[in-house]
Amino acid sequence: MFKIAFIAPDKQLFLQGKKIIRELGLQDKVSLHLARLKRGIRLAKTLEQQGVEVIVCRGGTARVIIESRIRIPVVEIPITGQDLAQVFHEAKRITGLTRPKVAMMAFDNMVYDIEILSTILGIDLTIYHLEKTEDIPAKIEEAATTDVDLIVGGIKTILLAAQKGLRTHLIRSGDFSVRTAFLEAQKILLARKFEKEQAQKFKALAEYSLEGIISIDAKKIVTVFNPAAEKLLKRPSQAIIGQFITDVVPNLDFNVCFLQKQHVIGQTHRLGNLWITLNIAPIIVDDTVTGAIITFQDITHIQELEAKIRNEVLARRFVAKYYLTDIIGASPQIIESKRIAREIAQVEATVLISGASGTGKELFAQSIHNESPRKNGPFVAVNCAALPANLLESELFGYVEGAFTGAIKKGKPGLFEMAHRGTIFLDEISEMDKFAQSRLLRVLQERQVMRLGDNKYIPVDVRIIAATNKNLLELIQDNQFRQDLYYRLKVLTLKLPPLRTRAGDIIRLACHFLHSFNNRHHKHLSLTADAYEYLDGHDWPGNVRELMYFIERLVIIAKEETITAKTIQKYWEDQDYISPAGITDLAPEKHQILSSLAQTNSNITKAAQLLQIDRTTLYRKLRKYKIEVQKTY
């Protein structure tokens, strides 16, 4: 498809243009046409509809095409001083006079600086200015009444003057002028291509943007109204484009944009029941505001999008991995704990999980989160004992730039902000200092946080699950824990049973851990019945965590593939907890303790030596079996 059209008003220029097009190698880019004046206008409009982007033409035909308000650029083949010098030289040759009288019929675009040149070359020149093609016959009649020697002009002028019997000469353009015009047309074509690319980018941006986009001109008339704007304002673009912006979005102040040439960011505006936030940016060309771009969004949508981003981005870092089905056990105690956890998960209230270390408090917290409506949000776990008191507050609530020495330059959001629309798990809540407790109490009451060094609150939507392995009531009595915070936390409570009370679960867990660690460490260990019985007889003060770590250690270091009770005693590092002489039955153990005390006259040191355990272990077992020691002398 040709992008450049050459419209020649006469055959001579047509052939001249054809030759130069071939020399420049533009045959596949330029279409050639022979037409002048009004016919040239009709042809130009047809070519525009066919996709031609640049027209090359000359003289009066170029002038009338431009005045027809065609929307594509027209490159005029100029009439240069060299061309006019050639005309004046021919005038002397044709007339045989040293100073001929020449009448030139010309539109304004043909006569730049011609008077000076004619004086230099000795031509008595009279210029007849043409406003429109209809002026040509009258101007020729006027010239004919004078003693003019020669009439020069375009093709129509020459034809009409010749009919009057006047001597004529056609103004021609040299090859240099024609070549220059085609090269200029190529440059314009490239520039238009770039403009079209930019326009298409803006069109794509406007059409597929989630923001409403309105463009207005210098008169504040709407020129662009994108699909998002149609959807938000519930009005079709056909009804809006061409309207004043004040009729579309009333009460907008454009003074900052049009008079001060500044943009407006984050302005809140109400349209009926719709609240929008909008930006207004001026379009400045050569230091003049030629229009403005208005972008806007539904504030409710922004809030929803922000929550979605928080959930999707932050949740990648804060994910709850465990479910209630991952909690192994069939004892009545653990089944009841799982039932309560499932009920707790369905409501939004704060939860306090209590239990000894290693009973699975975080496992239950993650499971509650994954069973709850917040399961798609982040799960943020914080060990309050692992962070120093001076860092715990900044980690929980965040800080702004310059809040303290060593703070990140741009500040940092706290873990409560990161848990927005999700769950925050505060493990070992008893280790939180009194000041952090008071700030946590405010979060529970107000559901908003303030970063360190800031003066404004940030609303958060977060569920709190706290956990403790200490008796908080005792800490309250010792003035180490706030009573009002305690009652805020214990809205829902879940007390986890120690492993020693979970009938049959020690063997189930040991079997599970053995299978898991065999796979992980590429081993093939198996436990005999007496080995399982031995493990089941231990009271496991470290609960499930202690059992898990022991099984892993056993899988790694044991050289035997079949593990018996005796093998377990061999590899057990915590000798304090081994039953003496391999006894696994608790009743015989109590009997041996009583026997040892009797033999040693209740001397704790000697009795411990006899039992091959240390004094502290013996004291623990005395409390366990409720044995009172009465010394005899």
Report, as an integer, the average pLDDT of 584-612: 74
Spatial CB neighbours of 441, under 8 Å, sequence gap ≥ 6: 482, 484, 485, 488
Report, as an integer, the average pLDDT of 494-520: 91
pLDDT of residue 582: 38
pLDDT of residue 335: 93
Q: Which is more confident, 59 or 55?
A: 55
pLDDT of residue 384: 83
pLDDT of residue 111: 59
pLDDT of residue 438: 86
pLDDT category at 353 given cuts 50, 70, 90 is very high
Domains of the chain: 4-78+177-188 (3.40.50.2300), 81-172 (3.40.50.10660), 209-298 (3.30.450.20), 324-497 (3.40.50.300), 500-573 (1.10.8.60)
* Distance between CA atoms of residues 600 and 590, nearest Å: 16
pLDDT of residue 81 exceeding 60: yes
* Distance between CA atoms of residues 245 and 295, nearest Å: 13
* Distance between CA atoms of residues 193 and 114, nearest Å: 36
pLDDT category at 576 given cuts 50, 70, 90 is very low
Model pLDDT for residues 250-297, shown as the tens digit of each residue = 888 888 888 888 888 878 888 777 788 888 889 888 888 889 999 888
pLDDT of residue 310 exceeding 70: no
- Is the Cα torsion angle 401, 403, 408, 414 positive or negative in sign? negative
pLDDT of residue 74: 92
pLDDT of residue 21: 92
pLDDT of residue 174: 84
Model pLDDT for residues 132-154, shown as the tens digit of each residue = 878 889 989 888 888 899 998 88
pLDDT of residue 6 exceeding 90: yes
Highest mean pLDDT among 442-451, 482-491, 582-591: 482-491
Q: Which is more confident, 407 or 417?
A: 417
pLDDT of residue 618: 80
Tell which residue, 160, 108, 101, has the closest CA to residue 125: 101
Do 455 and 441 meet the contact criterion of CB atoms below 8 Å apart? no
CB atoms within 10 A of CB 627: 14
Q: Which is more confident, 364 or 622?
A: 364
pLDDT of residue 221: 92
pLDDT category at 577 given cuts 50, 70, 90 is very low
pLDDT of residue 586 exceeding 50: no
Q: Which is more confident, 78 or 184?
A: 184
pLDDT category at 581 given cuts 50, 70, 90 is very low
Q: Which is more confident, 166 or 307?
A: 166
Q: Which is more confident, 6 or 108?
A: 6
Report, as an integer, the average pLDDT of 620-626: 76
Model pLDDT for residues 410-445, shown as the tens digit of each residue = 677 788 888 888 899 998 898 888 888 888 888 888
pLDDT category at 585 given cuts 50, 70, 90 is very low
Q: Which is more confident, 29 or 300?
A: 29
What does pLDDT average to over the chain? Answer: 84
Name all contacts of 546-554 with Cβ < 8 Å and 24+ positions apart. 546/358, 547/499, 547/506, 547/509, 547/510, 547/513, 548/509, 548/513, 551/510, 551/513, 551/514, 551/517, 552/513, 552/517, 554/525
pLDDT of residue 313 exceeding 70: no
Q: What pTM, to 2 d.p., does this model score?
A: 0.47
Do 618 and 593 meet the contact criterion of CB atoms below 8 Å apart? yes
Report, as an integer, the average pLDDT of 569-577: 63
